[in-house]
Amino acid sequence: MEAAAGGHSSGLSLAQKLAQLHGSPPPVPKGFSKPVFGFHLMTCVGRTPQNNSWNHSWPKFFAENRLKAVWKTVEKNHGTDGELQNLLDRVLKEVVPGLLGNGHLGGRKGVQPALVHGDLWSGNKARGSIGGKGGVEDVVFDPSSCYAHSEYELGIMRMFGGFSAGFFKEYHRLIPKTHPKAEYDDRLSLYELLVNGSMQLKMDEMLMLAIDING
């Protein structure tokens, strides 16, 4: 990629490209009868490996392959915190099934696995031309891809900023917010927990969600 400071896009906007990526039909992995969540190989976010073992269930994949894995990294880097561990256990038992549970997220049809970039923040996007050919347009790089709930991508994007309200408005015209729409912001807050440095900051917020979900 050759970066450029400006110029008109020769193709789709970044919001349109992301919607196109998320809306692409997912494949059926070998040994399965329908699309599932995960990826065919391990990927990394920075230096952190990501376990992408296939799973039929999005809440199980998110809890086991993402939240618990991030927590292990936090423990390795900062030591064990019993209080935080208790909060995480409650998030796993109450918040994850409450917001992402099968039969709840996406209604009776559930959610379709979507191919996501997986580490899309302002530092992994630019304006440029691919291989010096064609016009200047929005490009992204350094992915940590998997097949996930499409909004999983948006939580990471919102955490770091760099994407305008207009971007999200354009994206959601093409990929509507998942049912129940009223829980959209709560879901994105849950997905933000995957950013290592935010786990402790966000855990109290997740605890309040657990209380709300359980009345």
> Catalytic residue numbers?
119
Dihedral of CA 181/187/189/194: which sign? negative
Cβ distance 152 to 62 under 8 Å?
Answer: yes
Please state, in angstroms and rounded to a whole number, the distance separating the CA atoms of residues 86 and 206: 12
Please report where in the chains the tokens 């999200």 appear, as a residue. 168
Residues 6+ apart with CB under 8 A from 161: 122
Nearest CA to 86 among 188, 187, 203, 196?
A: 203
What is the helix (H) or strand (E) element at residue 94, kind and residue range? Answer: none
